Amino acid sequence: MEQFISRITRLTLTAAATACLGLTASACDSSTGTPAPGQPRTRASAKPSPQPTVTPALDRQAALELIRHYSAVNNQANAHDNARLLDTVENDALFAMSVGGYKQDSGTPAKDRKPYKPWSYDTATARLYIPKFLPGTPRWFAAGLTQTGTKHQSLVVFAQQPDRSWQMVLAPDLDGMPLPDIALDAQGYATAVAADGSDQPGFDAGKLRTGITDNFATGGKNSGQQFFTPTPASRRQTGIHDKDIHRLGKKGITAFAAANNVWNTAYGLKTAGGGAVLLFAHTHTQTDTLAPGWQLTSGPDTRAWLGRTPRTAVTDTFVCNDAALIPTPTAKAQLLGYGCELTGADGPPATPMIRA
């Protein structure tokens, strides 16, 4: 055993001495085989890992084909209120809004419904805003679209799903406002920016949701005027507040409030002026509360949820798509447009008394 250990020791020393051959005495400590103090160590060089590169979410032709496919399937689904079919091309807040519309239709007899009119987006005039992404990053793109034969313009978002399919998730109307000037690189691709304030505190969709809710709830007296400069879209929201809070007169009161919003994913695009366009969804409620001795009977919009049972109060829930321009990170936002759909209604039953 001792002889075995001794032999290993000699072999180790011999190997160490060999490693020092050809080196000057000052550069090597022959007792250890390591560079002397102050001398650089010799290390094997390693090739640096290649840096991941950004690539477009998809090419332009594929984006246009997605838009055409969406229009075709949307028409097929809407003609028969087929939510299962629509679910193949829509998702998130937009799908919730569409299903809410289907639910409303179910409260109206088929003979009383207006015939469905097919429509489509005009891909010939589409403005595509396709960002580039790092590998593994969720992919999406936006498009400025006009309905064929009209000037009705929307700024829509398609997002790639976990199964790699593409679905439209937002489609806010622009209320007659022009498309924002989106920054494009030399190849014509857009730049995505964080819409949660993580990169630029001013680009925060959560803050804008608060301001929009205030437009409905107070007429924009608080965070509405703090976060937004007036535009036709924001004036429409404050106008709804100003009109509806008085519509019941002495029979009751109407109040707007924020509601649980489960669609918190927001999308941002860099503008040519260094600002951003944010695309997102919000949810709010409108509650009508009747004075004692009065009751509400649901109309065609809420009948699918409430039937014909009289109510002492009714809370309507709306899901909305919003588009806002923030000229610079420190500037107030401009609400470019929005669209809302009734997605639910509820309220306590009442004994029939006096009808409002």
DSSP string, 318-332: EEEEEEEEESSTTSP
Alpha-carbon distances, residue 140 vs 71, 182, 339 (angstroms): 18, 15, 21
Nearest-angstrom CA–CA distance, 231 and 220: 12
Can you give the pTM of this predicted structure? 0.84
Give the tens place of pLDDT for each residue, 99-121.
Answer: 999 999 999 888 888 889 999 99
Residue 46 has pLDDT above 80, yes or no: no
What six digits make up the tokens of 141? Answer: 């793109």
Which SS3 state, helix, strand or coil, does residue 31 take? coil
Nearest to 262 by CA among 203, 303, 317, 308: 317
Strand pairing category for 267-270 and 192-193: antiparallel
Is 70 exceeded by the pLDDT of residue 1?
Answer: no
- What is the maximum alpha-carbon separation in the chain? 111
Give the C-alpha separation, 319 to 283, whole Å. Answer: 5
The residue ranking higher by pLDDT, 201 or 11, is 201
Cβ 206 vs Cβ 258: under 8 Å: no
Residue 38 is encoded by which pair of tokens? 């102050």
What pLDDT, in 10s, does the model give residues 179-217? 999 999 999 999 999 999 999 999 999 999 999 999 999
Q: Which residues of 297-316 are buried (b: 16+ CB within 10 A; e: fewer)?
A: bbeeebbbbbeeebbbbbbb
Q: pLDDT higher for 219 or 24?
A: 219
CA–CA dist 285, 288 (Å, integer): 10
For residue 21, pLDDT beyond 60: no
Inter-residue contact 32 to 48 (CB < 8 Å): no
| Residue range 310-337: mean pLDDT, rounded | 97
Angle ∠(314,317,321) on CA atoms, nearest 5: 155
Q: Residue 49 class from Cβ within 10 Å (0-12 exposed, 13-18 middle, 19+ buried)?
A: exposed
Average pLDDT over residues 261-278: 97
> How far is it, in rounded angstroms, from Cα 300 to Cα 314?
14
List of residues 6+ apart from 84 with CB closer than 8 A? none
Q: Are 323 and 155 within 8 A, CB to CB? A: yes
- CB count within 10 Å of CB 114 equals 7
Structure tokens of 143? 């498009």
**Structure-token pair, residue 31:** 């007792």
* 258: amino acid identity, one letter: A
Q: Rounded to whole angstroms, how far apart are CA atoms 216 and 220?
A: 7
Residue with tokens 């707007």: 256
The Cα angle at residue 66 between residues 85 and 172, in degrees rounded to 5: 80
The first and second tokens of residue 152, run together, are 């009705």
Give the model's confidence band at 157: pLDDT under 50 very low, under 70 low, under 90 confident, else very high. Answer: very high
